[in-house]
Amino acid sequence: MLDHPREGPQTGGLASAPIFREIAKKIYGLPNRWATKQVLAQAGRITVPDVISMTADVALQSLAARGYQGDTHGVGTIVRSQVPSPGTVLPRGGKVQLDLVEGPTAIAQPGFAVVPSLLGLPMRRAVSMLALQHLDIALSGSGLVAAQSPAPGTQMKRGSRVMVRCEPRSLSLLNRN
């Protein structure tokens, strides 16, 4: 049903976005949501963590803590992409390539976080980026982030709420690809 919706001019992503929003709300409200766990897949093999949107230093530390070697490419301080992708099973000692881009220059004071730019991101990535900063989220709509408050670069106390409004991708954008 979600892969091949039959009602109206929707794609699987447009049909599943409201469902994901409800799941994310439930997960986001769970206690200990900031706790990190190492997922064991097989003896000596674990899953690659998602380090996208982290600073290079934090990403490399996270990879090293799980027994991986990080290899950075590009100029910048923020991880834009990684290979292999998050969730891939890789033996300890395996290499994870990180593609870096320039990030915000603002440094948060202790107990505070800098609000990242979320505009144009899928709802799931926006939730992930705010969680990394220990910020709560108030979601409305589904699809891509169309507006956020406060503005990117604003310093907020950790645990503060960021308002995010999402809108579906326009069908004309989907038809261009």
Name the pTM for this structure. Answer: 0.44
Residue 56's domain spans which residues? Answer: 43-101
Domain count along the chain: 2
Query: SS3 string of the chain?
Result: CCCCCCCCCCCHHHHHHHHHHHHHHHHHCCCCCCCCCCCEEECCEEECCCCCCCEHHHHHHHHHHCCCEEEEECCCCEEEEEECCCCCEEECCCEEEEEEECCCCCCCCCCEEECCCCCCCEHHHHHHHHHHCCCEEEEECCCEEEEEECCCCCEEECCCEEEEEEECCCHHHHHHC
Tell me: do 172 and 114 sit in the same domain.
Answer: yes
CATH number of the domain within which 96 lies: 3.30.10.20
Same domain, yes or no, for 95 and 121? no
Of 61, 86, 101, the residue that ends a domain is 101
Residue 5 falls inside a structural domain: no
In a domain, 135, yes or no: yes
Question: Residues 88-131: pLDDT tens digits?
Answer: 888 888 999 998 877 655 566 788 888 888 888 888 888 988 98
pLDDT digits (tens, 9 = 90+) for 123-167: 888 898 898 888 999 999 988 899 999 988 788 899 999 999 999
State how far the alpha carbon of 120 is from the alpha carbons of 9, 55, 145, 146, 169, in Å.
21, 20, 5, 6, 10
The reply to whether 157 and 114 lie within a common domain is yes
* Domain end call among 101, 119, 143: 101
For residue 96, list its beta bridge partners. 70
Q: Are 111 and 154 found together in one domain? A: yes
38: confidence class by pLDDT, cuts 50, 70, 90: very low
Q: Same domain, yes or no, for 19 and 82?
A: no
